[in-house]
Structure 1
Amino acid sequence: MIRTILTYGSIAGLIVGIPLFAMAVVLAGRPPLPYGVALGYLIMLVALSTVFVAIKRRRDTALGGAIRFWPAFGMGLAISLVASLFYVVAWEAALTVTGMGFIDDYAKAAIAEQRAAGAGPEALARLSAEMEQFKADYADPLFRLPITLTEILPIGILVSLASAALLRNARFLPARPLPA
């Protein structure tokens, strides 16, 4: 089962990590895309669909068509954790290649958004100070890594829950016998 977890987790990690790295490097120094968050979460869902595939494959091939909720959920969590580690490594690599430029761009965009919304000078000064503090905090890997992990891991938990709940029912997408 460890081999399955590492295989499917690595596949999911590559599916989510490569686009993350590519978009972060290509779009460095530019304002964030208006649909960037939605695209990122869509990529995460596509990548984490490997959780469903892995649990179904284990249920149908190794366990004779039945799997209990907790073993399925545990397997899904393990695959999600491996994929999340790939995601974190891809983000750290992108930050290294771009020289941590993301956080400066993020701060500038947040301030510009508030300025366009008509925020007063006091509010802008307060936001600027908060952004400077955030930039200092973000430079610390012990602050940055958990934040990055919380971007993808909750999605993995939800996909694992849904997959385990659905696939514990042996009648849901039952295994098909091989043609003779």
Structure 2
Amino acid sequence: MREVSIIKKIGFGVEGEVLLVQYRGQKACMKVGKKLDRQMEQAEVMAKLDGAGGTPKVYAVCVDTPVIVMEYCEGTTLAEVYATASPADRDRIESDVRCKVGELHRAGYSHGDIHDENVLVCGGPGEYEARIIDFGCAKLLSSEGKEEDLKDVDDMFSECEVLWVE
């Protein structure tokens, strides 16, 4: 990806690492995974959610390397914010997280791994907003509200080298 310049590493986990990058003149996140199929499933879910539940928007996907370039959500983990937030702000944040999870479910998906490191909180006291990240465990909900395996979903990236979703 020639249009990406790395600024710094901002996270890592079992599935790979997350970098803060410059992409097309703006800050973005680049998730570099270890397994192409898992990264493609995650990119597909995020692209279909298209911002629902505070999901980062997908800008680009590489199909020959497990890379997703997505919207940069500037915020702090829920764990860090909770350490200093007032009880009233904690209530507002919890309410917003519940609303965002509801948006995901109404859009047909279950996140599958909601915890205080997969929720970023943006803004400040009285104006907090939750953003849900890391869709590596997401599942498609069936019409009955049960989780289904994502490999049954159409693979929207199967015929592209790079997909721009802007």
Larger gyration radius, structure 1 or structure 2: 1
Higher relative contact order (Cα pairs below 8 Å, separated by 6+ residues): 1
Q: TM-score range by the shorter chain?
A: under 0.3
Structure 1 or 2: larger strand share?
A: 2
